A and B are shown apart, each in its own frame.
Chain A
């Protein structure tokens, strides 16, 4: 939610001379490349690296990176039951993406729909949506997810729901405020005067205008969903033990921090780099679209 505030708040931001920013810098491509590598790893990594999260080898537990095991070399070491850490990093990427994308899609759909309707119609529907947003905003980010995921039974869908309950608010606020300002534009007035129905005006003349900013926000929310999933798993809430996730791997290695740092360090680094890169991309998109909107 921090990020959606920025998206809203930074709208009148002339601070940076645009000309300088527009200059292409080769370094700017780095985050995209890294994210690409992650997506590849999540998509085809499981095909290349054979890993069965169920199979353990207790005699090969807590081996340092580069150790030889019966099934090959454990480049990033093994965990407390002898599973390969590298494979966990790769399979964890998949879990993170699945949950992240599901959460963002769900939140985006709900948020944009409610936000656009509230912003365009005003009146009662706006009041209801706005007050619901107020209520959800009162729960600090992850708090609601902790309570929901902690109280319901475990499962990937529970994590997705728990993160979505508070997650759509950002989309709704953004769409609502943009819709409210767009409503007053000439072409919307024109459509209204020409007798275009309310729903058609919304979908044809307003929602397309939202797209850029929503994509920007979705990127940022993706980073935060990935992060929150890891945090939940780290607290031991939400995911069942047989789903590989970075958060669970980090939590599992906590007890061995002094003796087997690799269990926590590698999945954590993978998580950190991914979240930072998505954040960088999201920031760039945000700046582009907030400027365009003005």
Chain B
């Protein structure tokens, strides 16, 4: 196990370095000069040159890269010219809203997905099973941003029961969280369904039944418990997709999180914020995937063995 952990950690560190480098490359490839935007159309060429110098943009690329690496190690992504403060501060300030949104969506997905999955998997092949499976497939393919807009149209504009945008309150969280949860609800439902369908035929379920437990007790006590762990691990592995979805959903609902910050920073060429936000999101993905991996490995020794190969 130690070998496995060490190897995974090493790969994780390597990945983080790669992420940081990739972000640097992408940002440097972009046309449009940060100094020009900051100084506006009336600046003289000398002013622009001076600011480029202050920002270190006139140094050789390799030098810029190494000093960037050095800063990143200290978690310093430079000053955001838009916000006039360290980019990471701004990013960290928006982070809780994104966490809130993704957590709420995860909980909804797990709860709704489990219920759907159990209902479907209880009698594999039944009409109900087929219906739920098809609906789940459909849900998984729904374009989330489009669903979000339809929710706004229905619940905010037509029925006027929920606010369409903004952050902060309970009512504000409902629409974005539900929208974000939809594909994951479908994913969890499908996984639970196959898990339950499989377990239903296993010996210990038969035993439980023969002991005289009710069908409901068998389901919750044995079947669901058994399918829960893989579901949670997969959700851990899906955290990247979830965060990616959040970026778009936040923009649709003007949820004041990392995603809407990132999208506007891209438009404003606020490189410091783009770098800080991207790296932070990637970091979350790496760490959570790593955690999910470890949990998986602990549960399933075959994975540990494979790592040795």
Q: Which residues of A contact B (CB under 8 A)?
A: 1-2, 5, 9-10, 13-17, 20, 131-132, 134-144, 146-148, 150-153, 223, 227, 230-231, 234-237, 250, 254, 257-258, 261, 264-265, 268, 271-272, 275-276, 278-280, 283
Which of B39-47, B141-149, B218-226 is found at the contact surface with chain A? B141-149
- Docked pose: A257 CA to B274 CA in angstroms: 30
Task: Write the B28-65 contact mask toward A (1 if CB under 8 angstroms, else 0).
Answer: 01111000000000000000000000000000000000
Minimum CB distance partner of A284 in chain B: B137
Also in contact, A147 and B26, with CB within 8 A (given A16-B124, A140-B240): yes
B278 interfacial by beta-carbon distance below 8 Å: yes
- By a CB distance below 8 angstroms, the chain A residues around B307 are none
> A151 touches which one: B11, B26, B241 (CB < 8 A)?
B26
- By a CB distance below 8 angstroms, the chain A residues around B286 are 138
Interface pairs A-B: 8 shortest CB-CB: A140-B244, A151-B30, A135-B18, A279-B141, A150-B266, A141-B244, A15-B194, A140-B240
**CB distance A275 to B141 under 8 Å?**
yes
> A143 touches which one: B153, B183, B237, B281 (CB < 8 A)?
B281
Minimum CB distance partner of B263 in chain A: A235
- By a CB distance below 8 angstroms, the chain B residues around A271 are 143, 146
Distance in Å: Cβ of B158 to nearest Cβ of chain A: 9
> B145 touches which one: A132, A231, A283 (CB < 8 A)?
A231
- With A236-B267, A278-B141 given, name 11 new contacts (CB 8 A): A2-B241, A131-B11, A137-B289, A138-B286, A140-B244, A141-B245, A146-B262, A151-B30, A257-B152, A268-B149, A280-B138
Also in contact, A134 and B15, with CB within 8 A (given A140-B244, A147-B266): yes
- Docked pose: A144 CA to B279 CA in angstroms: 11
> A147 touches which one: B11, B125, B274 (CB < 8 A)?
B274
**CB distance B19 to A139 under 8 Å?**
yes
**20 A-B residue contacts at CB 8 Å?**
A1-B241, A15-B124, A15-B197, A137-B240, A138-B19, A140-B243, A140-B247, A140-B285, A142-B247, A143-B281, A144-B26, A150-B263, A152-B29, A231-B143, A235-B263, A236-B267, A268-B146, A276-B137, A278-B141, A280-B137
Distance in Å: Cβ of B176 to nearest Cβ of chain A: 15
> B19 touches which one: A135, A234, A265 (CB < 8 A)?
A135
- Docked pose: A140 CA to B241 CA in angstroms: 5
**CB distance A264 to B241 under 8 Å?**
no
Also in contact, A138 and B194, with CB within 8 A (given A132-B18, A237-B266, A275-B143): no
> B125 touches which one: A16, A257, A275 (CB < 8 A)?
A16
- Docked pose: A66 CA to B23 CA in angstroms: 49
- By a CB distance below 8 angstroms, the chain A residues around B282 are 138-140
Distance in Å: Cβ of B110 to nearest Cβ of chain A: 16
Distance in Å: Cβ of A230 to nearest Cβ of chain B: 6
Minimum CB distance partner of A152 in chain B: B30
Q: Interface residues of A: mostly helix, strand, loop or mixed?
A: helix
B198 interfacial by beta-carbon distance below 8 Å: yes
Minimum CB distance partner of B244 in chain A: A140
Minimum CB distance partner of B22 in chain A: A135
Minimum CB distance partner of A275 in chain B: B141
Also in contact, A131 and B149, with CB within 8 A (given A15-B194, A17-B124, A142-B248): no
- Docked pose: A265 CA to B274 CA in angstroms: 32
Task: Write the B62-81 contact mask toward A (1 if CB under 8 angstroms, else 0).
Answer: 00000000000000000000
**CB distance A276 to B241 under 8 Å?**
no
- Docked pose: A21 CA to B14 CA in angstroms: 44
- By a CB distance below 8 angstroms, the chain A residues around B140 are 2, 279
- Docked pose: A1 CA to B187 CA in angstroms: 13
- By a CB distance below 8 angstroms, the chain A residues around B134 are 280
Minimum CB distance partner of B199 in chain A: A15
Distance in Å: Cβ of A143 to nearest Cβ of chain B: 5
- Docked pose: A46 CA to B137 CA in angstroms: 31
Q: Would you list which residues of chain B between 147 and 167 have a CB under 8 Å from chain A?
A: 149-150, 152-153, 157
Task: Write the B250-289 contact mask toward A (1 if CB under 8 angstroms, else 0).
Answer: 0100000000001100110100001000100111011001
B27 interfacial by beta-carbon distance below 8 Å: yes
> A254 touches which one: B142, B149, B240, B283 (CB < 8 A)?
B149
**CB distance A141 to B125 under 8 Å?**
no
**CB distance A261 to B145 under 8 Å?**
no
- Docked pose: A244 CA to B232 CA in angstroms: 41
Q: Would you list which residues of chain B between 1 and 28 have a CB under 8 Å from chain A?
A: 11, 14-16, 18-19, 22-23, 26-27
